[in-house]
Amino acid sequence: MKRRSLFSSVSLWVGIFVLGGLSLKASPAAAVSGYRVRYKVCSIEMGLNRQIRVTDAVYQKSYVKIQHVNKVPEEIVFYDGVSVNAPTGTLYLTEPLTIPFLAVESGYLGKLYTEARVLHLACPNRIGDVTCNKTWIDYLELGVSLRSLRVSAQANSSLSEYATVRVSGIGMYPGEAASVQVSGAIVEDFVLRNTAVTFLKVASKKCRSTLPIQNRNFVSVGGIGRLSITDLPVSGDYRIEADSVGKIQAAGANILPDSVLSLGAISSVQSVSARLNGVRRGGWVGLLVGAMIPATEFNAPSFGTIHGDLAVCGTFWAGPQGYPDIPFHQGTIKKITTHPTKGALVGTAHVMPTNKILFVPKNHPLFTVCDDPGAH
């Protein structure tokens, strides 16, 4: 997706809003269903192509809620798919609907809830809780931080449909701790500067289509980083970076970024496989280049448990490289585990000399431990 920077995007709003002075050719609601937008303690303006601008948000009291409704009230009149006579604090939009751009221009928006897909969410200030129900936001561009992100997407992988989420936070000054929980979507890139992340959890999910198709059951694939272990790594494209990331966990989904950087300890990195619609998914931590060369680099002052049901592949630096406040090669790793007979351990752990890692299986010829910082 072609992106604009946050502040250049916001500046484009000048002159494109056409709320007043229009000669409207309005018509009553023709569609039975649509979307209802409710907002409180803030203002909303609609731009061209149904772009949404939110202003005057007042801390946690403000919210924007976009819900699908099966029946739009008959008295609602639309112009270019946007209602012109809805009650104060409410808008109606016709479907099908994808919101190309939603900007929170001023204030602290407490909550954003959406059942419509948003291609680009831009917020130069803080945002509280962001929730996507049966949909997702492709790109979140944040000026400061967010408190929580909850995504429950539905994309039919049997039709090669995949939901992807990218998060970019500038972190102009320290924000509150964030939590991220995503199901049915792949978190491709996740960077939150100056922000502690309590946990980053992803999962694949089973869904059921309401369309009259032969097989209504499908899987919406989740994951972190790349879609599959066969995708070639390109450094810097798929990252997890934050001041700290407490837990990174995947259920029925893989953890396949190019790199992970946490300036605080990571208590667990875990990928558990699950059988969904007859196919076992997930269980991989880290990418490989070719057959046996680990591609993913994990950096943190220390690690607790690192586990992949099928494989753990990577280079683990306990003490991030290039950060003088965190002693290089002086951290610890407690456990690195996989299935004792069917799993694979491939890579290297760089730890302090006295660190004894518990490995499962105990015999791991393709995974080495380096406890000598002078070797680099």
Question: pLDDT of 93-142, one tens digit each?
Answer: 998 889 999 999 988 899 999 999 999 999 988 899 999 999 999 999 99
pLDDT, greater one: 334 or 74: 334
Mean pLDDT, residues 11-16:
35
What is the pairing mode between strands 279-281 and 274-276?
antiparallel
Q: What percent of the chain has a predicted confidence (pLDDT) above 70? A: 88
pLDDT at 215: 65
- Return the pLDDT at 173: 67
Q: Which of 141, 142, 148, 143 is nearest to 172 (CA)?
A: 143
Residue with tokens 């393709």: 366
Between 26 and 148, the higher pLDDT residue: 148
For residue 96, say if its preceding peptide bond is cis, omega within 30 degrees of 0.
Answer: yes
Decide if 188 contacts 200 (C-beta within 8 A): no
What distance in Å separates the CA atoms of residue 5 and residue 21, rounded to the nearest whole number?
30
Q: Which helix (H) or strand (E) holds 9?
A: helix 6-11
> Is residue 17 pLDDT above 80, yes or no?
no
Q: What is the predicted pLDDT for the residue at 8?
A: 38
Mean pLDDT of 210-232: 82
Check residues 236 and 253 and name the one with the higher pLDDT.
253
Task: Give me the phi and psi of 59, to 5 degrees please.
Answer: 45, -145
- Is 45 in contact with 92 (CB distance < 8 Å)? no
Cα–Cα dist 190/169, whole Å: 8
Indicate if the pLDDT at residue 6 is higher than 90.
Answer: no
Q: What is the pLDDT of residue 30?
A: 52
Is residue 99 within 8 A of residue 119, CB to CB? The reply is: yes
Instruction: Please name every residue paired with 270 in a beta bridge, in sequence order, or none if there are none.
Output: 249, 307
Helix, strand, coil abundance in the chain, percent, nearest 5? 5, 50, 45
In order of 33, 36, 205, 363, the CA distances from 28 in angstroms are 13, 15, 38, 71
Residue 266: both structure tokens together:
């990571």
Q: Mind listing the pLDDT tens digit for each residue in 155-181?
A: 999 889 999 999 999 876 677 789 999
Domain boundaries, the chain: 26-95, 126-375
Of 7, 5, 3, 39, the C-alpha closest to 125 is 7
| Residue 12: both structure tokens together | 């484009």
Nearest alpha carbon to residue 219 among 155, 138, 274, 273: 155
Distance CA 222, CA 213 (A): 23
Measured from the Cβ of residue 302, the count of other Cβ atoms closer than 10 Å reads 20
**pLDDT tens-digit profile of 287-344?**
988 777 888 999 999 999 999 999 999 999 998 877 777 777 889 999 999 999 999 9
At 294, the amino acid letter reads P
Collapsing DSSP states into helix, strand and coil, what is residue 158? helix
CA distances from residue 198 to 127, 138, 322 in whole angstroms, order as listed: 17, 22, 24
Residue with the bigger pLDDT between 193 and 69: it is: 69
Q: Would you tell me how many other CB atoms lie within 10 Å of the CB of residue 239?
A: 16
Across the chain, mean pLDDT equals: 87
Per the model's pLDDT, the better-predicted residue between 10 and 29 turns out to be 29
Q: Give the pLDDT score at 373.
A: 78
Q: Under a CB-based contact definition with an 8 Å cutoff, are residues 366 and 346 in contact?
A: yes
CA dist 204 and 215 (Å) reads 18
Contact between 165 and 151 (Cβ < 8 Å): yes
Lowest mean pLDDT among 84-88, 193-197, 260-264: 193-197
Residue type, 91: L
Cis peptide before 361 (omega within 30 of 0): yes
Q: Could you tell me which of 288, 278, 277 has the C-alpha nearest to residue 254?
A: 288
